[in-house]
Chains A and B, each alone.
Chain A
Amino acid sequence: MINAVGRDIPQEIIDATGMKPFAGAFARHNETYTKAAPTVRAIIDPREDKMVGSIAEVLKKCGIKDGMTLSFHHHFREGDYVVNMVMEEVHKMGIKDITICASSLGKAHNPLLPMIEDGTITNIQSSGVRGKIGEAISTGKLKGLAIMRSHGGRVRAIESGDVHIDIAFIGAPTCDKYGNMRANGGKSDCGVLSYAYVDAQYADKVVAITDTLVPYPNLPASISQVNVDYVVEVDEIGNPAKIATGAAKPTTDVRKIMMADYCTQFVINTPYFKDGFSYQTGVGGASIASTISLGKIMKERGIKMGLALGGIAGPMCKLLEEGLIEKIVDTQDFDLTAIQSVATNPNHFEITGSEYANPMNKGAYVNQLDFVILASLEVDVNFNCNVVVGSDGMITGAQGGHPDTAAGAKCTIVIAPLLQGRIPAICDECTAITTPGETVDVVITDYGIAINPRRQDLIECMKGTKLPICTIEELRDKAYAIVGKPEPVKFGDRVVGVIESRDGTIIDVVRQIKDYEWDD
């Protein structure tokens, strides 16, 4: 069946998953539904000790068995040890057919590969995957189906019961003996635990794993004792050097700086750039550079940002300190400056993944965004974006909050260099679609800026500026003129992954990659 972004969704996948094809970014607005609920074991007896000696023991206490769904968060990013340490024990016990439901997985989780190959793990649900797990999925080694969900979409899936978590393992930088978890103060600080809230609230069993046990009560807690069954203390939950890097040096890449300047000029020429505006940006070189250059103009014009949202990095915190931002509302921290800021600055707040981006709650923060600055691996001529599947067909990225913020913001700007090596980033058709073009307003490249024709208002705003505005077709043509139009990647018939829209419908599927066959 052809969905609303023109992708062919096989009927057998619709039948097997019970999911509907994507019908538009706002098609489920006003729908009513009943939330799922976990099965809770009451802890009435005050003598019960939640501390458990080892991961193996806690698995037994939680009744681990074949076919269960285990969940994890990704606040430790590429420094995470928790997923591997839990899964190693599961593997040792000979448990099979596990579904991993993680807020994201990265290269840190390459050690899971043998467990995918031997059937310990048969399904993966994540914002995205990189490294060996991505290759394993794309080459058909995962027996079941991978489901890629946005951060908001994951909360929706859990709250609506599309996925039910049997055991949630929550790595906690600090925790007390009764399960109050905080993201600050330990050896492996990660700033916030936003994406783990929903796991704590909706999993049948919740296990806190910490390397820094602190005196009771560990307050203010991100995740409360009332949702926690057990606490396990281990030596290390992560590698601090990979959880958060020091303050990133501003990029010296002129191409990125140029795109950042285009972005800033675009932003300030829209009607949304006024006192109290709201803004979200990523952590790439161009995004950071645009935060810095925007800050300068805000200072010059005396305009303050009311709300900075999302994954937070140092330059945004600097603007908060300088009084150029009223409040930072945080779901993930990318560097030590951000981690320190959320712990100390009273105007820097931690929120839950649902508050951030869940499309099926009663209004997420993303809905209040004026601007979001995003990146993309590919953008097609209908402004559809792909942030998950590489142009070589391999799953290699994550949706993160991309579709969530794009749908929510009044002005969604995607920055992408026109060419990624020899691959055109602006193309006729993306290898996969993760973010619908109806929610993407502007694409900024090093060769020019294209505004979505749906946004005639923005096209009008830019008329007096010196920005290199052109059509997206012109950008595509420039890219093809330089590197040629690549032949499409060859895929087999088997669907190995579903790219779930944030509302739970299927926006695209990912097929098993096929070896390239040369024409005679």
Chain B
Amino acid sequence: MNPNLNRLRRSMMFLNAQKPSLIKDPYIYKPDSIMLDLEDAVAENQKDAARYSLYHALKEIDYRGVERVVRINGLETAHWKEDVRVCVAGRCDSIRISKTESAADVLAVQAEMEKAEEEFGVEKGSILLMAALESTKGILNAYEICTASPLLFGVALSGGDYTKDLQTKITGTGVELAGARQSMIIAARAAGKQCFDTVFTNLDDMEGFRKEVEMIKAMGYDGKSIVNPRQIAVTHEVFTPSQKEIIFAEKVVKEVDEKKAKGIGVFTVDGKMIDIAFYPGAVRTINMAKAAGVYEGDL
């Protein structure tokens, strides 16, 4: 299994792959993933230039552990196959499939990726996939998409296109996205995949942004697509377990291990009733804290 399949992905920052000044050093802001965009940010007659810029960035720049995801053009375009070739030739970490509507879409990209891996001598399975759901059909097929390939690590909502398909618009209340968000996280969790929320574009409304991140965290999401490094700190803060949560999780893990050995099933930690069902959640908190570099304990 690719060790990156379930890596920490709290923030996924969009960057226009055609802009050298943007893609030369986004790692200094320490996002978990960057999303090098060949799709909407790049003008139709600049697609080839963006691929050149992307290829050289992937080959030359040490992104210091930040995951390099590339958003390729949609399967309805003439660009996506060449996009996939460049992604593989440059050895990105993951490919984001735009406008995914079915398992067949995922498999088509996977087949093209495997062809390119053959061509460039890249180890099979070393590059992962993720799917962007941008239409009502995509949302309805979320589970099918999530289970289409073992290389697919997760799904992301693309709110702009989705609301157009829904014949509404982004209102700022979240009501128009509520169904999609719920459907996606349920499908992703059922398939054991990660789930990422859409972008929040009003950079002046940091309070609104924080609320949205807190909401999707509460819904179960793994992370958020972001458009500016200003959004990283808040996203990471919300998605990183607090010291209080870490200490509690640590106690749960230790107590469950100890009590299990003694044959005790239910007990209390800090006044809260705890049983074995709390164990996976506590382990997840500790793992997340470790991945985020904030765990100082001995588990």
A: which residues have CB within 8 A of B? 252, 254-255, 258, 419, 421, 446-447, 482
Contacts and interface: CB of A to CB of B under 8 A. Distances in A.
B229 interface: yes
Interface stretch (B22-30, B94-102, B141-149, B238-246): B22-30
A252 B203 contact: yes
B25 A252 contact: no
Contacts of A252: 203, 230
B24 A482 contact: yes
B233 to A, nearest CB: 9
Contact of B228 (A254, A419, A447): A254
Contacts of B21: 421
A254 B25 contact: no
A482 B25 contact: yes
B contacts with A: majority SS: helix
Given A252-B203, A252-B230, A258 B29 contact: yes
Contacts of B229: 254-255
B69 to A, nearest CB: 20
A447 B284 CA distance: 32
B24 A254 contact: no
A447 B64 CA distance: 12
Interface in B197-250: 203, 228-230, 232
B61 to A, nearest CB: 8
Contacts of A421: 21
A255 B30 CA distance: 12
Contact of A446 (B28, B61, B232): B28
B28 A255 contact: yes
Contacts of A419: 24-25
Contacts of A258: 28-29
A258 B61 CA distance: 21
Nearest to A446: B28
B70 to A, nearest CB: 20
17 contacts: A254-B29, A254-B228, A254-B230, A255-B28, A255-B229, A258-B28, A258-B29, A419-B24, A419-B25, A421-B21, A446-B25, A446-B28, A447-B25, A447-B28, A482-B24, A482-B25, A482-B61
A482 B21 CA distance: 11
Interface residue range, chain B: 10 to 19
A482 B229 CA distance: 20
Nearest to A482: B24
A446 B28 CA distance: 7
A328 B141 CA distance: 65
Contacts of B61: 482
Contacts of B24: 419, 482
Nearest to B203: A252
B234 to A, nearest CB: 12
A453 B29 CA distance: 27
Contacts of B203: 252
Given A254-B232, A419-B25, A447-B25, 6 more contacts: A252-B203, A255-B229, A258-B28, A419-B24, A446-B25, A446-B28
Contacts of B232: 254
A446 B25 CA distance: 10
A230 B230 CA distance: 55
A449 to B, nearest CB: 13
Nearest to A257: B230
Contacts of B29: 254, 258
Contacts of A447: 25, 28
A252 B202 CA distance: 13
Which 8 pairs of residues, A with B, have the shortest CB-CB distance?
A254-B229, A254-B230, A446-B28, A482-B24, A447-B28, A254-B29, A252-B230, A482-B25
A447 B62 CA distance: 13
Nearest to B25: A482
A254 B232 CA distance: 10
A426 to B, nearest CB: 14
A482 B23 CA distance: 11
Interface in B19-47: 21, 24-25, 28-29
Contacts of B28: 255, 258, 446-447
B295 to A, nearest CB: 15
A133 to B, nearest CB: 30
Nearest to A252: B230
A340 B28 CA distance: 39
